[in-house]
Amino acid sequence: MNLYSSKEMTLLLERHDFFFKKNLGQNFLMNEATALRIATAARETVTEDGPVLALEIGPGAGSLTLQLSKLFDRVHALEIDPHLLGVLEESLKDCENVTVENCDALQFDYQSLLTRYPNHHITVCSNLPYYITSEVIMLLLESGIPLTGITVLIQKEACTRFTAAPATPDYGAISAATAYRATAKKLFQVGPGNFIPRPKVDSAVLRLIPRKEKAVQVENEALFFKIIRAAFSARRKTLLNALTGGGIGEKERLEALLTECEIDPARRGETLSLDEFARIANILNKTEES
């Protein structure tokens, strides 16, 4: 069976009474070269010897899974839609190294992979459903499992936000939170013609390499992220007003604190580097502790 032929894919889906669900972000990759290119990019994140597990979120009908199966020792794929299980059984019948699990990737116990696949390096490779992109990436980065990389096909605009640098229009809380835990790079763009059904927007492949050490030293991560969220919640306000409005503290106290950090309170939140956010969080944490 050729999974990349629209005709054969349509027949496969019909055999299993499958209908596309927009609310699950179901746009299937139909270009073999693109699928292989994404799987190869994921393989490149593995630099050490030893067996490697590719974790895929949302295998769909198996277009990317098939390529992962060729390049990795094992593939574990999490699919929420039970109507795709029969489809995957048929499309991946020759791929003995693939395990499909019917579950919600947002509820999955990622730590369990360490005992299920002992001694394996783990990398993530997915054509992610757009409605959980940020949530699932943050979940993976915070999961505590050592990942060689996260290689994901996502909407182009989302990719730009993940990779945006401070003081650029797309820099936001998600860019800062990602940069704290990983290095981020856009690899290449993928046009709407690569999918069925055809999405309205362009997509791009994002590569994240989790950092061994966080980008900056932060004493209280919850406070650090609260400050970042507040700073970006009101982009047109000054940093001082955004932090005050975001419940970080009283205006006079915050003004003195920003001055102590050598950060102009009149700056906009989106101009701050991670290091500056960390300085504010660490001084604020110290004053709250004493």
In the complex, what is the shortest distance from the CB of residue 127 to ligand SAM, in angstroms, rounded to a whole number?
Answer: 3
3-class SS at 100? strand
> Closest CB to ligand SAM among 207 and 279?
207
Spatial separation of the C-alpha atoms in residues 132 and 152, rounded to whole Å: 12
Select the span of 21-29, 162-170, 174-182, 277-285 touching ligand SAM (CB under 6 A). Answer: 21-29
* Minimum distance from residue 172 beta carbon to ligand SAM (Å): 23
Beta-ladder partners of 123: 54
Over the window 159 to 198, marking each residue x when it contacts ligand SAM by CB under 6 A and - when it does not, the resulting string is ----------------------------------------
- Longest distance between any two alpha carbons in the chain, whole Å: 69
Residue 64 CB, nearest approach to ligand SAM (Å): 4
* Element (DSSP H or E) covering residue 195: strand 195-196
Give the integer Cα–Cα distance in Å for 190 and 216: 33
Read off the amino acid at residue 96: E
Among 42, 58, 92, 282, which residue sits at the site for ligand SAM (rule: CB under 6 A)? 58
**CA gap 210, 140 in Å, rounded:** 10
- Show contacts of 219-222: CB within 8 Å, 24+ apart: 219/281, 219/282, 219/285, 219/286, 220/281, 220/282, 220/285
Select 141 or 230, whichever has its Cβ closest to ligand SAM: 141
User: Is residue 132 close enough to count as binding ligand SAM by CB under 6 A?
Assistant: yes
Residues 202-241 that bind ligand SAM (CB under 6 A): none
User: Least distance to ligand SAM from the beta carbon of 90, Å?
Assistant: 15
Chain residues in the site for ligand SAM (CB under 6 A): 24-29, 57-60, 63-64, 78-81, 84, 104-106, 127, 129, 132
